[in-house]
Chain A
C-alpha cells in the first residue's frame, strides 16, 4: 500500500516534470504564451508527486511498514517518534527523496513568485531547467535510489533503526533539511542563469530577479553547515567541529563559490562587469552540489558519513557532466557578447576588492576540491588508495583564510571606482587600532603562534571595519541602518570573523588529557578539578548507556557516556560538555570500568571559544535575514551604473525596477540581448 502510493507519486512526478519541461520548451521555442501558461500547470503535479511520495514514506515509517526495504533498513519499533520521522533522511534513498521534495517546493515557489511573468521566455526557460533537474531526481528515485522497493523474502517484524549517530541528538533532525534547503536552493539562480544565457538576456535582469533566492539558499546552506559542525562537536566525541571529511567538503565547496558569487555579483549590478565570471560561479555552485553528492553518495571516497554504494554514482556523474557541459557550452557561446564595457580603474576600489575576494574564494574552493578528489586521481593513475588528511587542508587554507580576513577589513571602506590612500588612512584608522589591540592583548596574555595571532589581529581589524560601517549607518538611519544588503552583510561579516577567530583559537590552544581514576579520586588539569563520582548503567529497551559521573570543580556533575544501541549493537561515545563563555570543558568516556578493573578512563579537552562558533553562526543567520530586507530611504544600491537605459527620458531613475523582483515586470519588454555592449 505505502509502496504503491509512493511509486505512484514518483511516477507522477517524473511524468509531470518531463511533460512540463517538454511543453515549456515547445512554448518557448514557438513563442506561444498560452502554451507557456498551460505548461506551468505541470509544476503543481510535480509537487503533488513529491508530496505523495514523502507522505507514503513517512506513513510507512510511522506505521513501521517493514515490507519496504528502506523501512526495514532504517526503521525500528524502538526508535523515538521524533527520530523515526527524521529517519526519512537517515540513509541514501530517503535523502534523495527529501532532496526531490525540497526541489519540488522550490519549483512551485518559483512559479508563484514569478506568476505575473509566466509568459516571459526567461522565466519559462528557468522553469524548464528546474523541471529537468526535478525529472533527474525523480528518475533517481524510480531507479537506483528507489526508497519504495520491497524487502526480498519474508517481511521482518522489526528493523535496526537509523544509524545510532543519527538518533543521538536533535540537531540531526534539523541539520539535513537546512543543508538541503541551501543546496537545492541554488538550483533557482542557476536555472535563471541558464535561462538568461539561452534567451540572450544576459544583462543584469536575471540577477535582480534571483538575488533574494541566492541569499536565501546561501543563508540556509550556512546555517546547515554550522549545525552540522555543532552536531559533530556534540555527538562524535573527538572534540572537533570540522574534519575535512569529503561530505563536509561537499557542503563547503558550493558555499565557497556561492559566497564568491554573492560578492562579485555586486560588481555586476553596479558596474555591469564580471558577467562571465558571475555566470561561471553560479554554474560552478550548482555543479558542485551535484558533484558533492556524487562523491559522497557513490562510495568512490571513504567518508565517515557512510552511505552504502550502489549504481547511483553513474547517474550522478552523468548528470554532473551534463550540467557542467551545458553551462560551459552556453557560456562559451555567449561569452564574447557578455563582455562588459567598463574596466576596473584602480586596484584600490571596491570592485577590485570584490574581484580579489572572489578570486580568493574560488582558489579556496579549488584547494578544497583538489584535496577531496586527489585520492580519486591517484587511484585512477596509480591503482592505490590514499587519503589527503588534515595537514594538507590546514596548511593550504590558513593563508587563504587570513587573506580573506584582510580583505574583509579593507574592502568595506573602499568606494567604487577609485580610492585615495588618504581616504583609506582616515577610514581605516579606528579599525586598525582595534586590530592592533586584538593582536597585542593576547600576546600580553601569553598567546603564541603566528597563524592564530594573525587571525586575532586581522579578525579585529575586519570586525572594526564592519562595526564602523554599522555605526555610520545606524547613526544616519536609526534601526533601519541594520537593514539592506550592505549593512546586513556587515553583520554576516561579524559572524564569519567570530567563527574564524574561534577556529583559530581552537586549532592552536586546545588542550587534551586523559585520566584513569577509581571512584572518589580526583585529577587536576588546566586549573580544573575532576572527581570521578561513580559509574552508572542506564538501560531502556532501545539503548544501554554506561555513564561516568564526573564532578567538575566541586560543582555540577557531568556524565560522558558510551551508548550501545541494542537493535544494531553499535557502541557510540556521547561526550558531555560544560559550555563556558571562554572555554568549554569537553569530557569523553574512553574506557568504562569492568568487573575486574574498577578504574574509569576518561578524556578531558579544554576547547577555547567553542561557544563563539555557534554565536558566529547565529550572527551569520541574522545578518542574512537583515540583508534580505530592502534597505530603503536612499537611492537603490542595486541600480547598475551601466545598466542599459532604453531611454533616459522615458525611464526616470525613480521608475527603475524596484527591489522586489515581482515588480520587475517593466523590464520584460526591454530588449537586453547582449546588454550594454551591443
Chain B
C-alpha cells in the first residue's frame, strides 16, 4: 500500500508555469479535423461514383437470360454496340430517384446514331413490380430478369443501383455505383467513346 501513501510531488513554485501548449495543439487538431470535414463535404456533392472493379478492362461476364416479356437475351450478341447495364429494383429509393435521369439518358442515346443500348437488370425484385413501375414512370428499354441472381453475382453487384458500361468489343469499361445523372452517364460514355480514359 506504500504507493497510496506517497503524495504527488508538490508543484515547484519557482518553475515558470504558463507554457501555452494546449491552444497550439488544439489548433493543429482543429485544422486536421477541419480538413477532413471539408473533404467529406466535397465528396458529398460528387455523383461520379465510378468504382474500381477487377472486371475493368476485362471481357464482361456472360449474361444469358431473358427479358421480362420472355424473349432470350445474350450479352455476347450485342457485340458491336455500346451497352449500358443498370441494376435496378423498385424498392430502392435511389433507383427510383435515378429513374427519370435514365429515361432522359435513353432518349438522348436513341436520338443519336450508334447510341448506346440501355438494359435494366432486375435486382432482387419481382418482375411484375418492375413492369408496373416502368408502365407508370416511363422507360421502354428491355428489362432483364435475373431470377437466381447469377448476373448480379457475376458482376459483383451488392447494392442497387449500379450502372455498367460495356464497349462494342464486350469489354467492361466503367462501373458507376449509386444513382447517376443523365449528364454524368452521357459524359462518361462520350469520354469512353472518344477514347479518353475516365478519370486519372
Q: Known: A332-B23, A379-B43. Contact between A384 and B37, CB under 8 A?
A: no
1/0 contact string of A306-343 vs chain B (CB within 8 Å): 10111001100100110011001101111110100111
Determine how close the nearest CB of chain A comes to the CB of B165; give it in whole angstroms: 15
B44 touches A328 (CB 8 A): no
Contact among A73, A383, A642 with B199 in the assembled complex (CB-CB below 8 Å): A383
Residue on A nearest B24 in the bound complex, by CB: A332
B159 touches A309 (CB 8 A): no
Contacts of B37 in A (CB 8 A): 317, 320-321, 324
1/0 contact string of B5-23 vs chain A (CB within 8 Å): 0111111000000111111
B48 touches A309 (CB 8 A): no
Task: State which size class the interface on B falls in.
Answer: 35 or more
Contact among B1, B10, B149 with A571 in the assembled complex (CB-CB below 8 Å): B149
The reply on A677 being an interface residue by CB < 8 A is yes
The reply on B196 being an interface residue by CB < 8 A is no
A642 touches B93 (CB 8 A): no
A308 touches B30 (CB 8 A): no
For chain B residues 130-187, which have a beta carbon within 8 Å of chain A?
A: 148-149, 158-159, 177-178
Q: Known: A304-B158, A325-B30, A384-B200. Contact between A373 and B22, CB under 8 A?
A: no
Residue on B nearest A305 in the bound complex, by CB: B159
Q: Known: A298-B44, A302-B177. Contact between A342 and B8, CB under 8 A?
A: yes
State the CA gap A20–B25 with chains docked (Å): 34
Determine how close the nearest CB of chain A comes to the CB of B143; give it in whole angstroms: 13
Contacts of A479 in B (CB 8 A): none
Determine how close the nearest CB of chain B comes to the CB of A253; give it in whole angstroms: 14
Q: Known: A335-B23, A569-B129. Contact between A309 and B36, CB under 8 A?
A: no
The reply on A570 being an interface residue by CB < 8 A is yes
State the CA gap A424–B190 with chains docked (Å): 71
State the CA gap A402–B3 with chains docked (Å): 30
For chain B residues 46-101, which have a beta carbon within 8 Å of chain A?
A: 46, 48-52, 89, 91-94
A336 touches B22 (CB 8 A): yes
A342 touches B6 (CB 8 A): no
A341 touches B30 (CB 8 A): no
Residue on A nearest B12 in the bound complex, by CB: A341
A335 touches B21 (CB 8 A): yes
A385 touches B52 (CB 8 A): yes
A641 touches B6 (CB 8 A): yes
The reply on B194 being an interface residue by CB < 8 A is no
State the CA gap A310–B96 with chains docked (Å): 13
Contacts of A384 in B (CB 8 A): 50-52, 199-200
A336 touches B21 (CB 8 A): yes
State the CA gap A571–B153 with chains docked (Å): 12
State the CA gap A304–B11 with chains docked (Å): 54
The reply on A173 being an interface residue by CB < 8 A is no
Chain A residues bordering chain B, tally (CB within 8 A)? 60
Q: Known: A336-B20, A342-B9. Contact between A386 and B3, CB under 8 A?
A: no
State the CA gap A328–B4 with chains docked (Å): 33
A300 touches B8 (CB 8 A): no
State the CA gap A329–B26 with chains docked (Å): 7
B33 touches A294 (CB 8 A): no
A341 touches B10 (CB 8 A): yes
B8 touches A387 (CB 8 A): no
State the CA gap A568–B177 with chains docked (Å): 22
State the CA gap A306–B91 with chains docked (Å): 12
The reply on A415 being an interface residue by CB < 8 A is yes
A569 touches B18 (CB 8 A): no
Contacts of A570 in B (CB 8 A): 124-125
State the CA gap A383–B48 with chains docked (Å): 8
The reply on B113 being an interface residue by CB < 8 A is no
Residue on A nearest B33 in the bound complex, by CB: A324
Contacts of A568 in B (CB 8 A): 91, 124-126
B178 touches A380 (CB 8 A): no
The reply on A661 being an interface residue by CB < 8 A is no
Q: Known: A373-B36, A570-B124. Contact between A302 and B25, CB under 8 A?
A: no
For chain A residues 387-418, which have a beta carbon within 8 Å of chain B?
A: 387, 415-417
State the CA gap A376–B49 with chains docked (Å): 11
A341 touches B9 (CB 8 A): yes
Determine how close the nearest CB of chain B comes to the CB of A422; give it in whole angstroms: 16
For chain A residues 633-659, which have a beta carbon within 8 Å of chain B?
A: 635, 639, 641-642
A380 touches B49 (CB 8 A): no
State the CA gap A271–B8 with chains docked (Å): 7
Q: Known: A317-B41, A571-B149. Contact between A641 and B7, CB under 8 A?
A: yes
Determine how close the nearest CB of chain A comes to the CB of B137; give it in whole angstroms: 12
Contact among A331, A343, A387, A639 with B26 in the assembled complex (CB-CB below 8 Å): A331
Residue on B nearest A69 in the bound complex, by CB: B93
State the CA gap A306–B34 with chains docked (Å): 27
Contacts of A320 in B (CB 8 A): 37
Residue on B nearest A634 in the bound complex, by CB: B1
The reply on B110 being an interface residue by CB < 8 A is no
The reply on A377 being an interface residue by CB < 8 A is yes
State the CA gap A592–B177 with chains docked (Å): 30
The reply on A160 being an interface residue by CB < 8 A is yes
- 28 of the cross-chain contacts (CB-CB < 8 Å) are A160-B91, A271-B8, A298-B44, A299-B94, A300-B44, A304-B158, A308-B92, A308-B94, A309-B178, A314-B41, A314-B44, A317-B41, A321-B33, A321-B34, A325-B30, A328-B26, A328-B29, A332-B25, A332-B30, A333-B26, A336-B23, A338-B22, A376-B43, A383-B46, A569-B125, A635-B4, A639-B4, A641-B8
Query: Told that A324-B37, A384-B50, A415-B3 touch, could you supply 7 new A-B pairs with CB distance under 8 A?
Result: A73-B91, A317-B44, A324-B33, A342-B9, A385-B49, A385-B177, A569-B126
The 10 tightest CB contacts between A and B, nearest first, are A335-B22, A332-B26, A642-B8, A569-B126, A385-B51, A308-B93, A416-B3, A342-B8, A570-B124, A332-B23
